[in-house]
Amino acid sequence: MTYSSTRCRNVFLAVLTGFVTLMLPYVADTKPATFLENFYITWSDSHIKQLDDGMAIQLLLDENSGCGFGSKSKYLFGRVSMKIKLIPGDSAGTVTAFYMNSDTDAIRDELDFEFLGNRTGQPYSVQTNVYANGKGDREQRINLWFDPAADFHTYSILWNHQHVVFYVDEVPIRVYKNNEDKGIAYPKMQPMGVYSTLWEADDWATRGGIEKIDWNKAPFYAYYKDFDIEGCTVPGPTTCSSNPSNWWEGATYQHLDSVAARRYRWVRVNHMVYDYCTDKNRNPITPPECMAGI
């Protein structure tokens, strides 16, 4: 082997080793947990079924009830992720939600994924929302670029002191930045639990409530697996501050890199179908966080 080819190989191995080392804090911590390790059933336990020895679950919605589950602990900053397979076929009027919530009604903080059911052949929409210090009404909606009922896809929320990022299969679909220096509330004081529900909302979920749920298609099923929560458990150690030793507070996670930023723009340009920032009927005056950059 020539000196030049050996050098190229060594450079490649050094780059690869550096990349793997960079990813290790994340990879080492992403061991799928069983459902009961981290969660409990919040309502209608007869409508939640454990599968694969607790590594996956099935949620059921029928005319009698929907169902839901929540985490046993609350967290202050971190990353939560689940793989979800949504309701196939005609799911109009249904909502499958995956969210974080402080469970403090008056001044709650909340980070929402809401998957809005569709009529067969229409795209599946996902709505995100951010509540900070009791203020919400920050809905954005995109149409997913794949069939989320055909297979499992990964939905994640990254939450640190700089921003909240919603991901679909590691593609960022929404960024809510910390603009406290501009007087805009940011969720950072209240720990939040992780929740999910499957329920009927045909008064608004599909085309603004035009498409109603067809109970002849019931029961409706959604499936979850690979429950992953990495964050500061509260109450717990006093390490939930902006500490680089918590990987989600590290420099890599304080902003979108060039690849993620490009994917984010692609989603916003090609798949966004609603943005509260540009809804002049609801917001004649543009909300301040929209002008500050979200």
pLDDT at residue 20 greater than cutoff 80: no
Asked, as a colleague might, if the bond just before 235 is cis with ω within 30 of 0, I would say yes
Please give the structure tokens belonging to residue 245. Answer: 């030793």
Q: What CATH number has the domain spanning 31-292?
A: 2.60.120.200
* Rounded average pLDDT over 108-122: 94
- 208-247 pLDDT tens trace: 889 999 999 999 999 999 999 999 888 765 557 656 678 9
Q: Find the catalytic residue in 37, 63, 110, 180.
A: 110
Within its chain, how far is the Cα of 203 from the centroid? 24
DSSP classification of residue 208: G
Q: Which of 114, 211, 230, 249 is catalytic?
A: 114
Q: What is the mean pLDDT of the chain?
A: 88
Q: What is the DSSP string of 16-45?
A: HHHHHHHHHHHHTT---B-HHHHEEEEE-G
Query: What is the distance between the alpha carbons of residues 103 and 110, in angstroms, rounded to a whole number?
Result: 9
At position 15, the amino acid (one-letter code) is V
The neighbour count for residue 195, using CB atoms within 10 Å, is 19
What integer pLDDT is reported at residue 292 of this predicted model? 75
SS3 category, 62:
coil
CA dist., res. 217 & res. 88, Å (int)? 10
Residue 167 has pLDDT above 60, yes or no: yes
If you average pLDDT over residues 67-84, what whole number do you get? 96
Query: If DSSP codes are grouped into helix, strand and coil, which group holds residue 82?
Result: strand
What residue segments make up the domains of the chain, in order of their start? 1-30, 31-292
Q: Among 229, 230, 218, 226, which Cα is nearest to 57's?
A: 226
Task: Check residue 135 and report its DSSP letter.
Answer: B
pLDDT value at 181 more than 50: yes
Count helices and strands in the chain by DSSP H and E runs: 4, 15
Cis peptide before 219 (omega within 30 of 0): yes
Q: For the chain, first and last CA: distance in Å?
A: 53
Q: How confident is the model at residue 32 (pLDDT cuts 50, 70, 90)?
A: low
Q: What is the pLDDT of residues 140-157, one digit of tens each?
A: 999 999 999 999 999 999
pLDDT for position 104: 84
Stated pTM of the model: 0.87
Q: Are 247 and 29 in contact (CB under 8 A)?
A: yes
For residue 110, indicate whether it is catalytic.
Answer: yes
Mean pLDDT across 39-47: 97
The total of other beta-carbon atoms located within 10 Å of residue 1's CB is 7
Q: Is 181 helix (H, G, I), strand (E, B) or coil?
A: helix
- Which residue shows structure tokens 């052949």? 121
